[in-house]
């Protein structure tokens, strides 16, 4: 399945094409503050026990360049039970954009001002654990953080039709870094 076919299948609403080049910014400590405000907003909106909220993605790694989009991981009891969390998040200003039941039950909502990608998985999801492990590794391993940054800087020079194409192009280096994490845990 091509990227466009897949995006059409999982996107709620119109699939957005990039209108220009992807912009990377050097690390900004304000990203942590923006995350904390969003974390509190999510926590207040859901007001439920058993959820986990984590700052993930490049904006969560000091010293790493990033697209200025705050990635947040939300773990709920059952991500497929959208009725238990989506309406409350929509009232708080997030919009449901992605539904990937066949990929770890992933859901993604978007927030604006600041721009947020809110990734929702079920508690215990392997992909969520991978996201946290990747973040933690990059925070403490400068060589891999630099490798990832250089890969991103190289890839943003290219023209991409969809942001997902850029994300997919990073997969090789992400897999390489994840091998370092796996080896370190042995």
Return the pLDDT at 73: 98
Q: Is the pLDDT of residue 1 over 80?
A: no
Helices (H), the chain: 3-10, 30-46, 86-91, 126-140, 142-155, 163-169, 171-185
Q: Is the pLDDT of residue 138 over 60?
A: yes
Q: Is the pLDDT of residue 2 over 90?
A: no
Concatenated DSSP letters of 153-165: HHHTTS--SSHHH
User: Among residues of the chain, what percentage have pLDDT more than 70?
Assistant: 97
Q: Give the confidence band of 185 by pLDDT, cuts at 50, 70, 90.
A: low
3-state secondary structure of 130: helix
Q: Give the confidence band of 114 by pLDDT, cuts at 50, 70, 90.
A: very high
Return the pLDDT at 33: 98
Q: What is the pTM of this model?
A: 0.95
Q: Give the confidence band of 183 by pLDDT, cuts at 50, 70, 90.
A: confident
Q: What is the DSSP letter of 14?
A: P
β-pair partners for 11: 98
Return the pLDDT at 3: 75
Q: What is the pLDDT of the chain when averaged over all its residues?
A: 95
Task: Count the neighbouring beta carbons within 10 Å of the beta carbon of residue 84.
Answer: 14
Return the pLDDT at 97: 97
Q: Is the pLDDT of residue 182 over 60?
A: yes
Give the integer Cα–Cα distance in Å for 133 and 24. Answer: 23
Pick the range with the lowest mean pLDDT from 2-6, 29-33, 124-128, 153-157: 2-6
Q: Is the pLDDT of residue 186 over 70?
A: no
């Amino acid at each position: 399945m091509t990227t466009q076919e897949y995006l059409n299948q999982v996107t709620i609403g119109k699939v957005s094409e990039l209108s220009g080049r992807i912009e990377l910014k050097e690390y900004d400590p304000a990203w942590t503050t923006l995350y904390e405000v969003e974390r509190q907003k999510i926590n207040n909106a859901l007001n439920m026990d058993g959820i986990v909220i984590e700052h993930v993605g490049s904006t969560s790694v000091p010293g790493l360049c990033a697209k200025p989009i705050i990635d947040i991981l939300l773990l709920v009891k059952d991500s497929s039970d959208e009725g238990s969390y989506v309406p409350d998040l929509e009232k708080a200003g997030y919009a449901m954009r992605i539904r990937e039941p066949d990929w770890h039950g992933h859901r993604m909502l978007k927030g604006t001002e600041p721009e947020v990608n809110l990734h929702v998985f079920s508690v215990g999801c392997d992909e969520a654990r991978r996201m946290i492990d990747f973040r933690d590794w990059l925070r403490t391993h400068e060589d891999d953080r630099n490798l990832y940054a250089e890969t991103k800087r190289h890839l943003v020079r290219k023209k991409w039709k969809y942001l997902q194409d850029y994300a997919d192009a990073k997969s090789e280096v992400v897999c390489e870094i994840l091998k370092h994490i796996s080896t370190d845990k042995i």
